[in-house]
């Protein structure tokens, strides 16, 4: 199982299957441009070449900017991994907290005053596992992330040589505008991450 998801639905699918995390795309946000690059350039990306830096993802989304206003006043709060100077992965559930001298788990969030070390170690471990397994990815895209506009969803629908599942509020529009929806390209209505994972996991993983 090698599910590459743009939101935490990927981690939920692994949990429902009682699988270890077989790639580094866990508890993350992947915006459209970066996911499109992953899908179309997968074989050309050097996943062992990466850097880590502070992420401004929450600053750019009004809902999260309001929710984490106090935390975002800190010089860093969440971090991103940049893979091969091509793809940014925002690890929004791994968070810096000055008072957390060891990794502290709260539901799906991890707090640590050296969270960049935690993220780096997890990335290396999970990437090594993914590369050793050599399993083709199944891309799962939850389209309520703001960068996945209808036009961008339609762009994804033109890709015919990948296993892609879109979970989208534009289900009817995409079905009308797409010339063909192949068996490996499924489109489903939207809900929360955990609801979608529970409802669709068997369909997604058997597509």
d(CA 152, CA 133): 30
Residue 139 neighbours by CB under 8 Å, 6+ apart: 4, 5, 35, 38, 39, 162, 163, 164, 165
The structure tokens listed for 23 are: 């790639």
30 pLDDT more than 60: yes
More confident residue, 191 or 101: 101
Report yes or no: 3 and 135 within 8 Å, Cβ to Cβ.
Answer: no
- φ, ψ (nearest 5 deg) of residue 142: -95, 110
Q: Which among 118, 106, 113, 44 is positioned nearest to 81, based on CA atoms? A: 118
List pLDDT tens digits, range 46-89: 999 999 998 876 656 554 555 554 554 555 578 999 999 999 99
Every domain of the chain and the residues it spans = 3-206
User: What are the distances in angstroms from CA 132 to CA 1, 81, 82, 136?
Assistant: 13, 20, 21, 12
């Amino acid at each position: 199982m090698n599910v590459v998801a743009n939101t935490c639905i990927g981690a939920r699918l692994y949990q429902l299957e009682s699988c270890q995390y077989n790639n580094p795309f866990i508890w993350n946000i992947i915006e459209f441009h970066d996911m499109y690059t992953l899908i179309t350039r997968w074989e050309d990306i050097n996943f062992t070449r990466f850097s880590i830096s502070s992420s401004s993802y929450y600053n750019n989304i009004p809902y999260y900017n309001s929710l984490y206003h106090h935390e975002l006043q800190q010089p860093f709060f969440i971090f991103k991994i940049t893979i091969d100077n091509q793809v940014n992965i925002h690890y929004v559930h791994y968070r810096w907290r000055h008072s957390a001298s060891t990794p502290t788990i709260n539901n799906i969030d991890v707090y640590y005053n050296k969270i960049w070390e935690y993220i780096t170690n997890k990335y290396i471990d999970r990437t090594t596992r993914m590369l050793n397994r050599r399993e083709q990815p199944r891309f799962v895209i939850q389209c309520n992330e703001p960068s996945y506009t209808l036009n961008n969803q339609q762009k994804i629908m033109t890709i015919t040589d990948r296993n892609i599942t879109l979970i989208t509020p534009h289900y009817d529009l995409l079905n009308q505008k797409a010339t063909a929806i192949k068996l490996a390209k499924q489109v489903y209505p939207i809900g929360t991450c955990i609801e979608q994972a529970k409802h669709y996991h068997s369909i997604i993983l058997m597509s």
